[in-house]
Structure 1
Amino acid sequence: MASYIESSLSRDESVQEIFTLHWFAWMPVIIWVVLGLLTFGLTWLIAIYQGLSLKYLEQGLTNKRVILKRGIVSRRTDEIKLRSIETVEIDQGVLGRIFGFGTVKVTGRGISRLDFKNIDDPMRVKREIESVSSPIE
């Protein structure tokens, strides 16, 4: 089964990069599983929901746009065309600097903004987004 990003490509559009989550993004799931082992009940449902939410999250870059897709059964997508991007910023706390993860904030014209949270190697992601040339239309 093709991913959302691959299945939503337009003519002459290609995937440049799929942004992966850092292993640290899975820590809340691990904590809920441990709590589920210690107690029974709702903690297992929370762990399953959070795990599936991370599994079905897609974040990527094509030669025309940046894409963020969320949802397990339903689907919510946010996209910004490359030619509309105004800024690409990194938000990285102390743990993020130590372990190499952070949030990449892509701001477009108007009020559009995408937050790629818990991204592995946010500096590389920033460089990738900024280095892809805008499409000629």
Structure 2
Amino acid sequence: MDASQPHDAATDSGQPSPAEKFSATHKRGERGPDEMIWQGGYSAIDQSGSFFILGLITIGLIASCFFLPPMIIISLIAIPILWVVQLIRVWWIKMGVAYELTNRRFIHESGVINRTTDRIEVIDVDDVTIEQGIMDRMFNVGTIKITSSDRTHPELRLRGIKDVRKVALMIDDARQAERDRRGVYIESV
């Protein structure tokens, strides 16, 4: 055999080479590009409880100025600082989270300075749970908990999701469609 020409032992046995298998799969159209189903991030509406409490603190500080005149200086300093810190906190959370659901993968990106991207195959998703508090239900936001057989994130919490029920149903539908496409069926125990 000539060393200048690559030779695959699989072609001698009548079996297609890995390169031929790969190109044949793409010819049949089985593995095209991922189709986007949903894309989103953290909704600041999830912080409505924090803003409500901050509003009560602001009202309390303003009211204290009428009874204790020295509180005017403290209130003039504390109120803007509290609101700016809360707005920066919400902006930081919002900028640090991005989600993408395709027909085959759930992609979770986190971090503002250092970005981490994690992918979970939708076929590996075992359960989708919705968690909502009273304020969350009022504003139609919530947390989606994804339980999967993925090693890096067996349990992933997606906080601050707007239209939480709709998004959870999309994740569940994508999981079922991928299982149907691959012929994977889970029996009840």
Taking structure 2 as the reference length, the TM-score comes to 0.54
The corresponding residue for 2:17 is: none
**1:113 is the counterpart of 2:155:** yes
Residue 69 of structure 1, CA deviation: 0.7
Separation in 1 of the partners of 2:173 and 2:136? Answer: 23
Whether the 8 Å CA contact 2:41–2:94 is kept in 1: the answer is no
Whether the 8 Å CA contact 2:104–2:122 is kept in 1: the answer is yes
Separation in 2 of the partners of 1:75 and 1:115? Answer: 17
Query: Residue 63 of structure 1: which of 98, 103, 111 is its match?
Result: 103
AA matched with 1:13:
D
Q: Percent identity?
A: 23
Where does 1:11-50 land on structure 2 (aligned, <5 Å)? 12-25=33-46, 27=48, 38-39=77-78, 44=84, 47-48=87-88, 50=90
Q: 1:73 to 1:125 in 2, by over 3 A?
A: same
Q: 1:99 to 1:108 in 2, by over 3 A?
A: same
Query: Residue 92 of structure 1: which of 114, 129, 132 is its match?
Result: 132
Residue 107 of structure 1, CA deviation: 0.9
Say which SS state the counterpart of residue 130 (structure 1) adopts.
helix
Residue 11 of structure 1, CA deviation: 5.4
The corresponding residue for 2:18 is: none
The corresponding residue for 2:144 is: 104
Relative to its length, the structure with more strand (as a share) is: 1
AA matched with 2:161:
I
Count the aligned residue pairs: 126
AA matched with 1:83:
I
**1:129 is the counterpart of 2:171:** yes
The corresponding residue for 1:80 is: 120
Separation in 2 of the partners of 1:60 and 1:117? Answer: 14
Runs of 4 or more consecutive aligned structure 1 residues displaced over 4 Å after TM superposition: 26-29, 40-47
CA RMSD of superposed structures (Å): 3.3
Larger Rg: 1 or 2? 2
**Larger RCO (CA within 8 A; separation ≥ 6):** 1
Residue 23 of structure 1, CA deviation: 3.5
Taking structure 1 as the reference length, the TM-score comes to 0.71
Say which SS state the counterpart of residue 12 (structure 1) adopts.
coil
The corresponding residue for 1:6 is: none
Residue 95 of structure 1, CA deviation: 1.0
